[in-house]
Amino acid sequence: MQRSRPGYTVRVDRRMVGGSMFVIQAALEYRPELSEAQRERLIEMARLELLLAIEGEEERGRLLGAQAVRVEVAGDEPLRRFFGGRTAAKLARPVTKPARAAWGSLGGIAARSLQEA
């Protein structure tokens, strides 16, 4: 999935790994000509659109039988860290969450178990 808006582009790709792991790769790209002030005005909407796209792909994965979902984000450092992204200072293990029984809210897309949330 790719969606371009004035000022930014959201890209989300997915694939099933093994029989039960679903990997979502998401990227948020801002136009290079944007000033810092212009980017700041767009950041909330761009992040929301990225999160909604990830949620949609997660649902597709669950429908395909995924037992765990791993999310990787590029282009937005806070969201990358939120989803368990690795940093140079701390190499975190990939974080997954167990399958949920029913559709949930945006809070359900966090890449950690529902008990931790």
- What confidence tens digit (pLDDT) does each residue in 48-100 have? 999 999 999 999 988 888 889 899 999 999 999 988 875 444 333 444 444 44
**Is 104 a residue whose pLDDT tops 50?**
no
For the chain, domain boundaries: 2-109
- pTM greater than the 0.85 cutoff: no
pLDDT digits (tens, 9 = 90+) for 18-59: 888 889 999 999 999 999 999 999 999 999 999 999 999 999
The answer to whether the beta carbons of residues 24 and 71 sit under 8 Å apart is yes
Long-range contacts of 80-88 (CB under 8 A, 24+ apart): 82/110, 82/111, 83/110, 83/111, 84/111, 84/112
Q: Residue 1's pLDDT is what?
A: 86
